[in-house]
Amino acid sequence: MTDCKYITSDMLNHPIKLRVDQGPLDFTSARSLADRKAKELSSDPMLTAWFDRKSGKFSPDAICCDRTKPSWLVYAESLGADISVDVNDLDYVFVYKDASK
């Protein structure tokens, strides 16, 4: 991700912000929380991309094609992703598409 932009909150369309202060949060727990929040907004949310700041990992691990946003976010948006969940101020970001539409 060295050639790509890092995520900032203004890059997300209407992000849902979750704050968890009960000790250390790992990827699996953050994803579980984000999945539950996405299910409140869609009967069929499909995870299209994610970012884990602590590990520096993201998915999909795509080549940069846009200099204004990270490639994983561009990919999700190109699939029609319309739900983004920001956990602990961009420590984790999960982007979903409402597959019921």
Instruction: Tell me whether residue 1 is in a domain.
Output: no
Question: Residue 62 is part of a domain; what is its CATH number?
Answer: 3.30.1490.340
**80: nearest Cα among 68, 65, 95:** 95
Instruction: Tell me whether residue 3 is in a domain.
Output: no
Instruction: Tell me whether residue 4 is in a domain.
Output: no
Which tokens go with 11? 């890059």
Query: How far is 30 from 92, CA to CA, in rounded Å?
Result: 7
Using only the alpha carbons of the chain, give its radius of gyration: 13
Work out the number of other CB atoms within 10 angstroms of the CB of residue 94.
27
pTM, 2 dp: 0.91
pLDDT at position 64 is 63
The whole domain housing 17 covers 9-98
pLDDT at position 1 is 42
Q: Within the chain, which residues score under 70 in pLDDT? A: 1-4, 63-66
pLDDT at position 40 is 96
pLDDT at position 90 is 97
Q: What is the pLDDT of residues 29-49, one digit of tens each?
A: 999 999 999 999 999 999 999
**Number of domains the chain contains:** 1
